[in-house]
Amino acid sequence: MEMLIYIVSGGITGFLYWRYYGCNNGFCIMGQNKYMSITVGALMGFLVVSSSGCAQPDQQASTQDHVAIQNAVVLEDIPAAAFAEKMQQDDVILIDVRTPEEFASGYLKGAVNINYNAPDFADQIAKLDPTKTYLVYCRSGMRSGNAGKILSEKGFHTVYTLKGGLNAWTGEVVK
């Protein structure tokens, strides 16, 4: 409906140009043909509709891109050296997703134990702040990888997992 309005208004504009301005003053580019003026006006109205229709998706995409950037999720499996560097940063939370028995046998300093296999795992991670940076590890990297995926799906913005788990860790382990 909107397109029809633009086409009709373009046709009317072309006619009015021909009738009152252009051709009466000797500036008629269509050679004194009112039908040509109406046709050109209708085409101009169509072009206005076409070009305005193209602008809206770009504006929407740009808004969507901006929101996506703000809500970007980092989920990265990093080697032990990079994991150790991240542990030194302020405001990071270190999570050991092994069982309590595995945790008692040795863990990384400052780690919190949230058992990936526990039935209340989802409830425990729901209590965490999704805007913080999380470092997640397990014995081999399998459970921490799965836990990292769950955290990112729940809206946690920055999650790093230890590639190879504690098996790949060469640093200090608290016993």
Q: How much is the pLDDT for 58?
A: 47
pLDDT average, residue stretch 121-142:
96
Q: Is 28 among the catalytic positions?
A: no
**Would you say residue 93 has pLDDT above 60?**
yes
- Domain with 127, as residue range(s), is 74-168
Tell which wins on pLDDT, 93 or 32. Answer: 93
Q: Per residue in 12-49, is it b (16+ CB within 10 Å) or e — as a string?
A: ebbbebbeeebbeeeebebeeeeeebbebbbebbbeeb
Number of domains in the chain: 2
**Would you say residue 31 has pLDDT above 70?**
no
165 φ, ψ (degrees, to nearest 5): 60, -155
Pair 35, 60 in one domain = yes
Residue 23 lies in a domain: yes
Residue 51 lies in a domain: yes
Q: How much is the pLDDT for 61?
A: 47
**Would you say residue 70 has pLDDT above 50?**
no
Q: How much is the pLDDT for 97?
A: 98
Indicate the pLDDT class of residue 149, thresholds 50, 70 and 90: very high
Residue 14 lies in a domain: yes
CB atoms near residue 94 (< 10 Å): 19
Residue 18 lies in a domain: yes
Pair 107, 53 in one domain = no
User: Which residues 6+ apart lie within 8 Å of 121 measured at CB?
Assistant: 114, 115, 147, 150
pLDDT average, residue stretch 106-117:
97
Long-range contacts of 14-17 (CB under 8 A, 24+ apart): 14/38, 14/39, 14/40, 14/41, 14/42, 14/44, 15/41, 17/41
**Would you say residue 55 has pLDDT above 50?**
no
Domain end point (choices 49, 66, 83): 66
Pair 35, 78 in one domain = no
Residue 34 lies in a domain: yes
Supply the pTM of this predicted model: 0.61
* Choice among 23, 28, 54, 138 that is catalytic: 138
pLDDT average, residue stretch 108-130:
97
